[in-house]
Each structure stands twice: as structure tokens, then as C-alpha cells.
Structure 1
Amino acid sequence: MSSATATRVVVADDSGLMRRVVTATLEHSGFTVVGAAKDGDEALALCEREQPDAMTLDLAMPGLDGIGVLRALRRQGERATPVVVVSAFSPAHGARAVDALAEGAFDLVAKPAVGDGIDRFTNELSDKVRLAAASRRGARRRAPQPPAEGGRVRTAPSGAGAAGSGRTERRARAHAATRRIVVIACSTGGPKALAELVPALPAPLGAGTLIVQHMPPGFTGSLAARLDRVSNLNVREAAGGETLDPRVALLAPGGAHLRLTDPARVTQLSDEPEIGGLRPRADLTIVDVARAFGEKMLLVVLTGMGRDGLEGAREVRRRGGRVLVEAESTCTVYGMPRAIAEAGLAHEVLPLHELPAAITTEAGGR
């Protein structure tokens, strides 16, 4: 708990009961709650006065609601207080949660429903607030990112010129004969990363695309719809029973593992137990695809906390597939990519803006 002692938090919720619950939960975890607001205007005023490290924010509030608060904070640029949305969510309100992420929320935590245990809520809230505060203070330790043998780390800025173009052309020639299945895995910060990455990908792409984003049930359909509106690929939430299609990106639904049958290579949704608190679990999808497609697989791991994807990456390497991970410089949370890079499993470690071109040339696309 000592690492959170100096972390100062504002709590915003129109419910007095929830303000007390969230405040008690954070203080029990070692945070210092410096103010509690009952609406958006009070929340912004507290942030201006207290300059907290993070804020928890309900979306449904009178007057200026949570989305309005997030938009106001975005106008502050780097001064903006990082926000963890703590709100009641349901499938009917999935679009609002995705809107919050698009407006700059760091992450989401669902309010505990009647009958839910408080321990999971406490752990999830404290973990996400701690990470949000670290992102504000620049507290993340930046370490070298070792690629696998024969791989390389590149963090060249966008518009690197002829040298970057030459690298892309060489990679394209090396992999042009192979059209790969693409699996993209991400967690915290993933919706924003996907909003930059997926619209920049071509259609058709490789032999098909699967995306695993850690989200609760009810949110992934809205995320898929948002991505679909701005992308060349047809992005939709997987329903099970689909065959892979180069023009389609299938997003694993929250609350279910996305599996791939072998040898039929048809998607299947599984309600197997959570693994490490996660369902969907990216490792399951990655291992299935690696076993079915071997060297004709490309794994891309984006921002996210934890180590989901690590065991999958090991299987991809064993089967001769390719592994790309997002560089720390553009990650919201450098957890999932770090685990793979430090294990020496990444062929390349690239900033987010370089990944669309790399994926296109590795997987085979127009």
C-alpha cells in the first residue's frame, strides 16, 4: 500500500452513497482522497484547486455529466487529470463507456452490482487508479526493450524518409509470399490505440484479423461499431461460427473467450472460467491460431497491463509465426508488450504510428 500513499485522488459521483464507497475503498488501499464532487462542475473545480494525481468519475451526473468533464479535461492537454470512469454499465450503455474512452478516459471500472463481492471492485479500482496516476506523473520506469534474436527495436519518428521506406520495402519483399492471419491483443489504453491502428489498415488484410480487447460484457459491440464506421475493414463483434475473411476484423466479445477450432478454422465462443480474471483471454485465442496456422500468423500486442499474450507469443514463436509489439513510448500502460519484449519474443518493437505499415507488409495487404 505504501506506493499509493502519496497518490491524491478526487472522487466524482452524484450518489452520496457511492462517493462514500469509492472514498472508503481508495483510502483503504492507501490513497489520499482530497475531495468529493457531486457533479461535473464541482469535479473540474476540485481538479483545478487540488491538482490531484487522478480522478474517479461517474458518467451519469446532473448538469455537466462525465462525458462533458472528459471533454473539458481534454482541452487542458498535458495538464489534464487522468480519469478512471467508475459507473454503472450495462449492454444498453456500452456506447457511453466507449465514448468515455474516446474522450480520453484512462480506463473503466464497473460499480459493484447487488450480490457482487467488494474485493474484486477494490482490487480493480486501486490498480487502475494507481496506473492512471503513474501516467500523469511520468512514474513509469523506462527500460531497454530487447527484441528476439534477429529482431530489432525501432522507434523512428513518423516520416523517417528514405531509410524507413527502404526498410518497409525489404520487409514487404521478404514476406510478400505469405498472407498471415493477424491477431491483435490489448488491454488498458487499447480502445484508443485501436482507434488509431485499425482505420489505418487496408482491406483486404492478410488472411483475416482477430482482435482481443479486455472489456466487460456489453462494451465490445459498441467498440466494434465505432471502429467499423471509420475503417476499411469490416469490424464486428464475433458471434461464433465465422470463417476468417481478409476483409473482416472480428472482435472478441466481453465475457467470452474467442477460440478457433482446428482443423476447421472456425471461430467459437467459450464460457470457460476466467483466466487471471480475464474473459476474453488473449492467450487462448493466440495459441489456437498459432496451432492452426503456424508460420502464417502475425501477433500484434498493444498497450495493456498484465502479461496476457506472453504464453501465446511463446507458441507463435515455436510455430514459426511473427510477433510485433507496441513500443513503450506510445503505450498507455507498458505491461503486455513489455512482458513479450523482455522475454525476447518480439521480432520488432514499434511505436503505434509505425504499426499499420508493418502489419500490412507482414500480413500481406494492399
Structure 2
Amino acid sequence: MSSATRTRVVVADDSGLMRRVVTATLEHAGFDVVGAAKDGDEALALCERERPDAMTLDLAMPGLDGIGVLRALRRQGERATPVVVVSAFSPAHGARAVDALAEGAFDLVAKPAVGDGIDRFTTELSDKVRLAAASRRRAPGRAAAAAPRAPLARSRPGSPLATPSAATGLGGSGRLERRARAHSGTRRIVVIACSTGGPKALAELVPALPAPLGAGTLIVQHMPPGFTNSLAARLDRASNLNVREAAGGEALDPKVALLAPGGAHLRLADPSRVVSLSDAPEIGGLRPRADLTIADAAKAFGERMVLVVLTGMGKDGLEGAQAVRRRGGRVLVEAESTCTVYGMPRAVAEADLAHEILPLHELPAAIAAEAGA
């Protein structure tokens, strides 16, 4: 592949060793590294000069740090370079990773620790940088295709959530079916599955959901151990629902959304409907695996279940959606126009398993009507 057709990347890290490691990894994977920066100011200058397709960014740098770079890039709007954060993370610094995602980072890759194999790091880094670059290339077309957004309805204690009739772009039959279910008195469990782009999507979706909601809510977001507690805390501060990282042993509560912790599968017992955590092996490189949680919920609740599949790469959620449909539950997926990565929703939609495909801003009202708010 010629340099003219290769994906162009800027690498930013204050460690000379890591700059060399990341550069060599990307070049070996076929990327064209057009510049390396040792601090945030150099990173921004390189992005302005080189106009790369993507950038890898360390968070801990002298002067302007990674969060400062992300904020500066966000002010550029559609011109902003997509960023994959490559940084050392730990449970103590989980909030910093969540802050980076909130500030617009495309995704995160943890630097390999001493004793870690390099193969997984190499694969994860190249895959995520490739997806980040692709997201920029298709952004103008997606923006043009997206319907104008109505203001996002955010419920507050004592105020009604926007009704399904306020949503735009939906078929009349879908709205009527949801209204009928909303008035049926049946409360349904809500399971939300997401991956790349998920923290940003959840930050819009979850605060717009009412409390109580259905029979309870479970969320599976692909994240490494140590990050999900910070994500739950951030969502909890902005939401009517109480959002917590699951610890195991909790009974479902309509006022609570339980988030699967990174590094553990979130399971739901039948018939007790009490959640537990499993350290069983990864499935397809994932732990938590949404398919497991979804299948458990489908078994326990049958037709009294709503599955919501948001942005993410891969096909996690596909087998779960099949289980939901077999047992009579409902399946909603996020439309491509608002997805960071249209992978997980695409797999469900192309298998003809989705009852409705909706842009992110229309999902809160649909979920509330389906689940029974």
C-alpha cells in the first residue's frame, strides 16, 4: 500500500520509549505515522499541520495534558481529529479514562504492563485506530443523512418524560404498539448493550430515562476492569435512575440501573432474579459479554423484556437478541446515523431481529413506553 493511501496517524506521548513502541506497532500494521509529539501543544500543532486521519494520545503529559488536548480538539467540531487514548490505566485512575471519553475520545487502549504480552495490545491498537479514522471519513455523509434532532427530553422528578408521540421519523404502527404496551400495566426489564462509543451514548440516553423504569435495568458496556465504577458514578450524578456498578447479590429494582463491572460477566438467576458476577473465561475476547446477560434476562422474563443495542464494534448482542425474539421480548437498536461504530446494532438489524431502529435521541421515549415507566 502506498503512503498516499495509508491511514495517517499522529502519536502523542511524553515517553520516548512509548512513542517508539506505538509508532512501530502502527507502522507494522500498515499505518503511516506522520508525526510524534512529546506533549499536548506539539500534538495540537502536528494535527493542525498534518491533518491526520487519527491520533493516539497519552493522558499524562507535561504542560497541556491529554484531557486538555481533547477539549481543544472538541472546539474544532467536525474538523477534529479522532483520538484513541493510549495511556496507563488503573482502578485508581478510572475516572480519568471516563473523563477522556466524555471529552470526545473515540476509544481507549491500555498501555501494556510489565509481563503483558504485546500481541493483544498490537491488535487492539490497530483495530481501534482504524475504526477511529473510518469514523471521520464517513462523518459528513452520516451528518447529512441524520434527521434534524428535536431537543432531548430529560425527565425530572415530578415532570413527565416526553411521550412516544413526540418522537419523529417513526412508523405510526410502532407508536401505537408502544402506547398499547405502555398502558397494559406490564413492567419489563431493560437490558442495554454497547461497546465503542457506548459511554458517550449512555451519557445521553440514561439521564433521559425516568425512574422508576420497568422491572429494573441492566447495562453491559465493554470496558476493562477499574473503569466501570467511574462510569456508573458519572451516570448516577446526571440521572433520575440510581446507577451503580453491580457487586453481585442485588435484586432488580425499578429505580436502579446496574452496570456490569469490567472483567466480569453479569448474570441473572432464574427464578430469583438476583444478579451475580462470574469470572468465567472471556467469550470472543469479552468479559463482560452482553449475550450472556441478555440470554439470562430472556429466560427469566420472557416477553417481559426490552433489549436495547447501542453503538459498538463486533456482534455481541446478536445471540442475545435471538434469545429475546424466541421468548417474545422486544428489541430496539440504535440507528446508524447516531452510532460511533455501527457494528453491534448492524448485526442485530441485518439479522431482522429489531422491532425498531431509532436514532439515539428517540430511544429514551421508546424505552420508557416499552418498559412501563
TM-score range, shorter chain: over 0.9
Measured at CA, do residues 47 and 345 of structure 1 come closer, stay the same or move farther in structure 2, by a change above 3 Å? same
User: Which residue in 1 is equivalent to 2:150?
Assistant: 158
Q: Is the 8 A contact 1:13 1:19 kept in 2?
A: yes
Number of matched residues? Answer: 354
User: Which residue in 2 is equivalent to 1:296?
Assistant: 304
User: Which residue in 2 is equivalent to 1:174?
Assistant: 181
Q: Is the 8 A contact 2:225 2:262 kept in 1?
A: yes
RMSD: 2.2
SS in 1 for 2:56: strand
How does 1:331-350 map onto structure 2 within 5 Å?
331-350=339-358
1:354 to 336, 349, 362: 362
Partner AA of 2:228 in structure 1: T
SS in 1 for 2:52: coil
State the Cα distance separating 1:87 from its structure 2 match: 0.1
- 1:102 matched to 2:102? The reply is yes
State the Cα distance separating 1:158 from its structure 2 match: 3.0
Q: Is the 8 A contact 1:176 1:362 kept in 2?
A: no
User: Which residue in 2 is equivalent to 1:6?
Assistant: 6
Partner AA of 1:124 in structure 2: E
User: Which residue in 1 is equivalent to 2:67?
Assistant: 67
5+ unaligned residues in a row in structure 2: which ranges?
A: 152-163
How does 1:202-281 map onto structure 2 within 5 Å?
202-281=210-289
User: Which residue in 2 is equivalent to 1:112?
Assistant: 112
Deviations 1:141-165 (A, max 9, x none): 98xxxxxxxxxxx968537977859
- 1:44 matched to 2:44? The reply is yes
State the Cα distance separating 1:176 from its structure 2 match: 2.8
Q: Is the 8 A contact 2:188 2:370 kept in 1?
A: yes
Deviations 1:214-238 (A, max 9, x none): 0000000000000000100000000
State the Cα distance separating 1:171 from its structure 2 match: 1.7
**Shift >6 Å, 4+ stretches:** 1-4, 139-142, 159-163
- 1:314 matched to 2:322? The reply is yes
State the Cα distance separating 1:6 from its structure 2 match: 1.4
Measured at CA, do residues 317 and 169 of structure 1 come closer, stay the same or move farther in structure 2, by a change above 3 Å? closer
Partner AA of 2:338 in structure 1: T
Deviations 1:194-249 (A, max 9, x none): 00000000000000000000000000000000000010000000000000000000
- 1:76 matched to 2:76? The reply is yes
SS in 2 for 1:138: helix
Measured at CA, do residues 32 and 161 of structure 1 come closer, stay the same or move farther in structure 2, by a change above 3 Å? same
Q: Distance in 2 between matches of 1:169 and 1:95?
A: 42
SS in 1 for 2:124: helix
5+ unaligned residues in a row in structure 1: which ranges?
A: 143-153
Deviations 1:125-146 (A, max 9, x none): 000000000011118998xxxx
- 1:286 matched to 2:291? The reply is no
Give me the TM-score of the superposition, normalised by structure 1.
0.93
Q: Is the 8 A contact 1:168 1:361 kept in 2?
A: no
SS in 1 for 2:248: coil
User: Which residue in 1 is equivalent to 2:87?
Assistant: 87
- 1:188 matched to 2:196? The reply is yes
Give me the TM-score of the superposition, normalised by structure 2.
0.91
Measured at CA, do residues 3 and 169 of structure 1 come closer, stay the same or move farther in structure 2, by a change above 3 Å? farther
The percent of aligned pairs where both chains have the same amino acid is 86
User: Which residue in 2 is equivalent to 1:150?
Assistant: none
Q: Distance in 1 between matches of 2:182 and 2:9?
A: 49
Q: Distance in 2 between matches of 1:322 and 1:4?
A: 47
Q: Is the 8 A contact 1:260 1:268 kept in 2?
A: yes
Partner AA of 2:117 in structure 1: G
Measured at CA, do residues 360 and 89 of structure 1 come closer, stay the same or move farther in structure 2, by a change above 3 Å? same
Measured at CA, do residues 117 and 2 of structure 1 come closer, stay the same or move farther in structure 2, by a change above 3 Å? farther
Q: Is the 8 A contact 1:155 1:350 kept in 2?
A: no
Measured at CA, do residues 297 and 162 of structure 1 come closer, stay the same or move farther in structure 2, by a change above 3 Å? closer
User: Which residue in 2 is equivalent to 1:123?
Assistant: 123
Partner AA of 1:117 in structure 2: G
